[in-house]
Amino acid sequence: MTAPATSAPAVSAPDRLRALLAAPGFVVMPAVWDGLSAKLAAAAGFPTAFLSGSCVAAARLGGPDLDLLSFAEMQDSLLMVRAAAPQTLVLADGDHGYGNAMNVQRTVRAYGRAGAAAILIEDKITPRALTAAGKPCLPREDARIKVRAAVEAARDSGILVMARTDCRPTAGIDEAVARIEMFVEEGADILFLDSPADEAEIRRAVAAAAGRPSFSVLSPGAPRATPNNIRAAELGLKIGTYPTALISPVAAGIKAGLAALAAGQAEASSALKPAELRDTLGYGEYDTAAARFVVG
């Protein structure tokens, strides 16, 4: 009797991301926030995406990224992104973990169950001071414990942990580098120095990561070094994300549409044609899938 054929087990999202990060080349991660942005990024050929807290804050709250989002709102956004682009390897913003070490573990486990490939955990103090300026951070050992808790919880699903330090503007580059070295000791998979002042600081952070991938925000406008893709790779960075690259044109498009309506027009000149919009949203795919269930 012939044994039934068995299919190979599916490779998990974290393992697929590990393989991608081990391969040559710089990884560009579009920053997404909902189903449409994730779907379009996947359709454009990007295998990865960063679920950005700043983009989710802009879309859900219509406001800035000042730690006002809740765990539930970010988790819901992750579920939307995963549903719309199930093959995309999502690095999800876990902010400060939404509380103490036990909150961090709950966040990491929930993101892992939802299918995220990686999660960001940072060392900022929460709740933050009532000002948009500065990013006060936890004492070093408190930051260590948060990353330790994240790495431990990540074992359940295999989700990668990206440890971020925001202390550069307030505590200096030496402290930031020491924290990256500490996060490596604790088992973080990806390292992230926020707000490097120049290329020399980027190089120091990459060296401190000890061969593990380094992540960077490369959108222009903030007071930080923002090399282009080629230069970022030369500096040793592995992943670059661009939080304003999609959300800013979207905001511009909405403003253009509103201006067109106010001027008595039906739409802005930049609007997609009706057929292209329907195709982008998947009306044809829906009809094909639904045809199997039509009665008669």
* CA dihedral sign of residues 108, 143, 172, 174: negative
Q: What is the pLDDT of residue 4?
A: 61
Q: What is the pTM of this model?
A: 0.94
Tens of pLDDT, residues 260-284: 999 999 999 999 999 999 999 999 9
**The tokens 């999660």 sit on which residue?**
119
Percent with pLDDT over 90 in the chain: 91
- DSSP state letters, the chain: -PPPP-PPPPPPHHHHHHHHHHSSSPEEEEEE-SHHHHHHHHHTT-SEEEE-HHHHIIIIISS--SS---HHHHHHHHHHHHHH-TTSEEEEE-TTTTSSHHHHHHHHHHHHHTT-SEEEEE-B-SSPPSSSS---B--HHHHHHHHHHHHHHHTTT--EEEEEE--HHHH-HHHHHHHHHHHHHTT-SEEEE-S--SHHHHHHHHHHTTTS-EEEE--TTSSS----HHHHHHTT--EEEEHHHHHHHHHHHHHHHHHHHHTT-SS-TTSPPHHHHHHHHTHHHHHHHHGGG---
* pLDDT bucket at 221, cuts 50 / 70 / 90: confident
How confident is the model over 177-195, as a mean pLDDT? Answer: 98
Tens of pLDDT, residues 5-57: 666 778 999 999 999 999 999 999 999 999 999 999 999 999 999 999 999 99
Q: What are the extents of the domains in the chain?
A: 13-243, 252-293
**The tokens 């050929």 sit on which residue?**
45
Tens of pLDDT, residues 65-114: 999 999 999 999 999 999 999 999 999 999 999 999 999 999 999 999 99
State whether CATH 3.30.750.24 applies to domain 13-243. Answer: no
